[in-house]
Amino acid sequence: MQIRLETIGRPRKGYSILELMACVLSRTLKDGTTVGTGAGSAVARAACRLAQLTHAPNLNYLAGGSGAVNPLLDPLVDSSCDYTNYICESVVTMSDVIGSIPSGTTDLFFCGGLQIDRYGNVNLSVIGDYNKPRLRGPGSAALPLMAGARHFIIFMTDHSPRSFVEKVDFRTAPGFLEGGESWRLAKAQGLIGGEGPLLVISPLAVLDFEEESKTMRLLSVHPGKTVEEVVAATGFSLMVPEHVPETIPPSPEELQFLRSFDTDGILS
C-alpha cells in the first residue's frame, strides 16, 4: 500500500515549488532552537531536517501529533503521524507537544490555513457562517494556541484572492489581530505570550509583517513569478517595498540533501 512506483526513477531536473518552499523555510530556522510541525506538514518536516543537515545541527523538531522528535525522514512521508516518523531520536506525548506552545518552550511552530488576512490571522475552520458554513474546513488543531507560541510561520498551499483575504471568516490562529495597535494593546495587557507570525510562505512569494502596522509585506517573489502576479493574487492591499528581490532558489547542495531523504518524491 502507498507504494509510489511512478516516482521511482523520475527525472531530477530543476526543482519543484514544494522543494523551493522547503529550502526557504529551512534557511529561516536557527540552530539550537526547537521547532514544531503539524498535520500534513511534509514540507515543514523536510525544512527542519534540511536545516539539521546544513546549518543547524542542534535544531530539534517535532513531527506533529506523533510526538516523534527529530525523525530521520527515512524516507519523508506525507502523514505527520505515520509510523515512519518514529525512525527518530525520542518520542514525547501529544500533550507534551501541544503544551509546549502556550508554555513557550517550543521556539517556533508551523501552521497552515484555508484563509489568511493582512494581519496574519489564519482560518482553518469555516468559510461562511459557523453553524452552516459554505465550506467546513478540518478545524482548529493547535492553531488557537498560536498567540502563546513564541514564533510561528504560516504555510499557505494556495495564493489567490480566495485564500489571501481582507478579513478571515473565522480567526482560528490569531495573528497580529486587527493590526499594530490592537496587537500592542494585547501585549501590554500581558495576555499574549508570543511574538506573532514571523513569516508567510506561499507558492508565489515570501512575506512578512511590517513592524509598526503589522500589515503583510512582500519580502521576495519566487523565481518565474512577478510582483504584479502576487499583488493580483492577494485579496487585500499588500505592502510592496520599492525593491523586491527574487526568492533565492534551492542550491545544488540543498537539493541534494533534500532528495537524500525525499526518496519517494513527496515534494516533487
Partner 1 sequence: MTENTPKAARASKKLELAEAVSRYLPDEVESLAIGGMHMHNNPMALIREAVRQKKRIKRLITSPAACINADLLIGAGLVEEIVTSYVGFEHLGLAPAFRRFAQEGKLKVYEIDELTLILGLKAASNGQPFAALSPVLAFSDVSKFSPEFYRPITNPFNGQPAFACPPIKPQIAFIAVQQGDEFGNGILKGAPFIDREMLFAAETVLLQVEQLAPSEQITRNPLQVTVPGMKVSAVVEARFGCHPTSCHRVYHYDEEHLKLYLQMAATNEGFEEYLQKYIIGYSEEEYLKRTQSRTL
What residues from 173 to 232 belong to the interface with partner 1 (CB under 8 A)?
Answer: 173-174, 177, 186, 189-194
Which of 14, 57, 241, 245 touches partner 1 (CB under 8 A)? 57
CB of 120 or CB of 230, closer to partner 1: 120
User: Hey, CA dihedral for 61, 67, 73, 77, is it positive or negative?
Assistant: negative
Which of 26, 37, 52, 202 touches partner 1 (CB under 8 A)? 52
77 to 106, contacts with partner 1 by CB under 8 A? 78-83, 86-96, 98-105
Stretch (H or E) spanning 5: none
Which of 142, 199, 204, 233 touches partner 1 (CB under 8 A)? 142
Per-residue binder mask for partner 1 (CB under 8 A), 234-253, x = binder:
--------------------
Q: Which of these segments, 15-23, 47-55, 221-229, 231-239, binds partner 1 (CB under 8 A)?
A: 47-55
219: which DSSP letter? E
Residues in the chain, total: 268
Closest CB 90 distance from partner 1, rounded Å = 4
Q: Which of these segments, 17-25, 165-173, 229-237, 241-249, binds partner 1 (CB under 8 A)?
A: 165-173
Closest CB 88 distance from partner 1, rounded Å = 5
The residues facing 135 across adjacent strands are 127
CA pair distance 221, 237, nearest whole angstrom: 16
Q: Which of these segments, 38-46, 203-211, 228-236, 237-245, binds partner 1 (CB under 8 A)?
A: 38-46
Task: Tell me: does residue 58 bind partner 1 (CB under 8 A).
Answer: yes
CB of 73 or CB of 238, closer to partner 1: 73
**∠ at Cα 258 (248, 33), nearest 5°?**
80
Closest CB 165 distance from partner 1, rounded Å = 15
DSSP calls for 118-177: TT--EE-SEEE-SSSEEEE-S--TTGGGGGTSSEEEEE-S--STTTEESS-SS-SB-SST
Q: What is the CA radius of gyration of the chain?
A: 18
CB of 10 within 8 A of CB of 267? no
CB of 2 or CB of 242, closer to partner 1: 2
Q: Under rule CB under 8 A, how many of the chain's residues touch partner 1?
A: 83
Residue with cell 499557505: 156
CA pair distance 22, 206, nearest whole angstrom: 12
